[in-house]
A and B are shown apart, each in its own frame.
Chain A
Amino acid sequence: MAKGLPKSFKKALWVYHCNSGSCNGCDIEIIAALCPRYDVERFGIRLVGSPRHADVLLVTGPVTRQMVDKVKRVYEQMPDPKAVICVGNCGNTGDVFYESYNLVGPISNIIPVDVHVVGCPPRPEAIINAVAKAWVKLETLEAEKR
């Protein structure tokens, strides 16, 4: 955590998870990160039910054509400052689905991505690490505002 930063992000970092057509592999690893073995709630990181409450957006999946406008809407509904984490290979590059006719992704084509997490699916440790990185970005943004 950077020095002299505002208190606003020190304890409450709320995450919204959006599935843009993934295979559930990353999604269950995200839930696994919230459950007793990894337990991110002890850092104040929790999953919320509405993007309007969230600081960080976790996007999984390669973004199918039907999901493009929905992903954009979720992103726009989030209050500033916000960070986007792309979880999993297919959101980063398309992975095994790269040549499919129904993909609009990678996710960075649609919304700006701050942290990329690789792995198919990434381990919960990697996802927690990514959220910590997003934390630094949000704190820097807050500090700049002052």
Chain B
Amino acid sequence: MKKKESVKTTTKTTYQIPIGPIHPALKEPVMFEFEIDGERIIDVDVSLGHVHRGIEWAGMQRNPVQILYLAERICGICSYSHPIAFARAVENACDIEVPERAEYLRVIHGELERICSHILWAGVAAHEIGFDTVLFLTWEMREKALDLTEYLTGNRVTKAIIMIGGVRRDITSDMVPKVQETLKYFKDNFEKLRHIFLDDKTVRLRSQGCGVLTYDDALKLCAIGPTTRASGVKKDVRVDQAYAAYGDLDIDYMTPDVLTGEVNGDVYDRIIVRLLEVKQSIDLIEQCLDKMPSGDILSEPKIPKLLARVKKTAGEGIGRHEAPRGEVIHYVKFDGENDNPYTWKARAPTYNNILPWIPMLKGEQIADIPIVAASTDPCISCTNRVTIVDNDKNSRYILNREELHRMSIEKTRRLMK
């Protein structure tokens, strides 16, 4: 109530726009409240919790092998990142060694998910600025990645490939040609994608100098993943901690200055980082296929034996993994009497990347909300219903997702004139 009054007295033309929590295309329900002065965004507030399913609580009633399935369903797009972080936490707590071949297989699946996720994101970002042709182009590419995922793991989205102490399925020598064929397809199409996103005038006009996150803000607000790397912060679990087989592979931080020689921290830089990472992932999978040693893929194939070992463990473990959106951390604690964890805590990358929205969006225009929001990859802006409350006239009008999208397209057209 107090907030509203202050809004009224400061300026005549301040609006409040709640966005969410229902938005029918992608991603989870979440609610944002924007304070608008004309077209400029003055303040942003976030409220989370609409997708709270009590997963951690449910996990504490189950044993680690059952939790793998639960962890997979924390997020359908990071359906590999969560189980691997959890499995690494359990391996850390129970001192389970992972066979070397399994470490390489884990890298391959992780990088495949990154390709999938970044291509998906590229399509959504293009959609947000009214470039739907690219949405269809990228999703067609994504289907190729899904085909490969299905070939290697047996499912398109929830893969169930991770097991505590290794992976469930091997990549045999007769499967390698299919993997190489798909990688070749990506390489052939990568140039096309790079050209569309980095050379196209429309994309440049909409993304350069828009939604800037400075180096200091990125550090202060603990941004992670491509969002922080686009601001020049060198932070990547794959390099910092070199888990799984990453230590043996040629990998470096992907910051925008690798390509352009400068760091601006805007939406354009975040596009550059993701595109570079797609290329890096293709390269990493190829390296893995070359260097992969032969041997076991699972340290303990008998599940009752594995659970008995977990039951005897008293202690805690942490598992970190660089998911496509940033670092994901899982923490588990076992009490030494039960095989279900005493505590299980998961921290997903989007939590860290939500707060940087505030400096990114402040001072931007309403038409930029979709692309700035999408640039951190929570894809919140898709399909929102927006209500604009005009404090002076005391009237309400509703902007649905299409109108928001239309405003975004109109801005692109204005810029092109």
A residues sitting closer than 8 Å to B (CB atoms) are 16-29, 31-32, 35-37, 47-50, 61-62, 64, 66-67, 70, 74, 90, 95-97, 99-103, 120-121, 123
CB-defined contacts of A96 to chain B, threshold 8 Å:
58, 69-70, 73
CB-defined contacts of A37 to chain B, threshold 8 Å:
139-140, 143
User: CA–CA, A62 to B73, complex, Å?
Assistant: 12
For residue B270, give the distance in angstroms from its CB to the closest CB of chain A: 20
A28:B76 contact, CB within 8 angstroms? yes
A19:B139 contact, CB within 8 angstroms? no
User: CA–CA, A100 to B21, complex, Å?
Assistant: 21
30 contacts between A and B (CB under 8 A): A18-B22, A21-B52, A21-B53, A22-B76, A25-B77, A27-B25, A27-B27, A28-B26, A32-B142, A32-B143, A35-B140, A47-B25, A49-B401, A50-B385, A50-B400, A62-B53, A64-B53, A67-B50, A70-B21, A70-B22, A74-B22, A95-B73, A96-B58, A96-B70, A97-B54, A99-B58, A100-B55, A100-B57, A101-B57, A102-B53
CB-defined contacts of A28 to chain B, threshold 8 Å:
26, 76-77, 120, 157
B156 near A: Cβ within 8 Å? yes
Query: Which 5 interchain pairs have the tightest Cβ spacing?
Result: A25-B76, A35-B139, A100-B54, A24-B76, A49-B401
B28 near A: Cβ within 8 Å? yes
CB-defined contacts of A25 to chain B, threshold 8 Å:
73, 76-77, 79, 157-158
CB-defined contacts of A21 to chain B, threshold 8 Å:
28-29, 50-53
User: CA–CA, A35 to B146, complex, Å?
Assistant: 13
User: CA–CA, A121 to B160, complex, Å?
Assistant: 12
B residues sitting closer than 8 Å to A (CB atoms) are 21-29, 49-55, 57-58, 61, 69-70, 73-77, 79, 120, 135-136, 139-140, 142-143, 146, 156-158, 383, 385, 400-402, 405
B158:A121 contact, CB within 8 angstroms? yes
B21:A67 contact, CB within 8 angstroms? yes
User: CA–CA, A16 to B401, complex, Å?
Assistant: 12
A64:B52 contact, CB within 8 angstroms? yes
User: CA–CA, A74 to B136, complex, Å?
Assistant: 28
B156:A29 contact, CB within 8 angstroms? yes
B54:A36 contact, CB within 8 angstroms? no
User: CA–CA, A3 to B146, complex, Å?
Assistant: 39
CB-defined contacts of A121 to chain B, threshold 8 Å:
76, 156-158
| Residue from the list B22, B26, B54 in contact with A24, Cβ < 8 A | B26
For residue A60, give the distance in angstroms from its CB to the closest CB of chain B: 10
User: CA–CA, A24 to B121, complex, Å?
Assistant: 14
For residue A131, give the distance in angstroms from its CB to the closest CB of chain B: 15
CB-defined contacts of B140 to chain A, threshold 8 Å:
35-37
For residue B157, give the distance in angstroms from its CB to the closest CB of chain A: 5
Nearest A-chain residue to B406, judged by Cβ: A49
User: CA–CA, A101 to B400, complex, Å?
Assistant: 32
CB-defined contacts of A17 to chain B, threshold 8 Å:
24-25, 383
B26:A31 contact, CB within 8 angstroms? yes
A36:B136 contact, CB within 8 angstroms? yes
Nearest B-chain residue to A15, judged by Cβ: B24
B22:A64 contact, CB within 8 angstroms? no
CB-defined contacts of B22 to chain A, threshold 8 Å:
18-19, 67, 70, 74
User: CA–CA, A17 to B24, complex, Å?
Assistant: 5
User: CA–CA, A21 to B52, complex, Å?
Assistant: 7
User: CA–CA, A62 to B139, complex, Å?
Assistant: 27
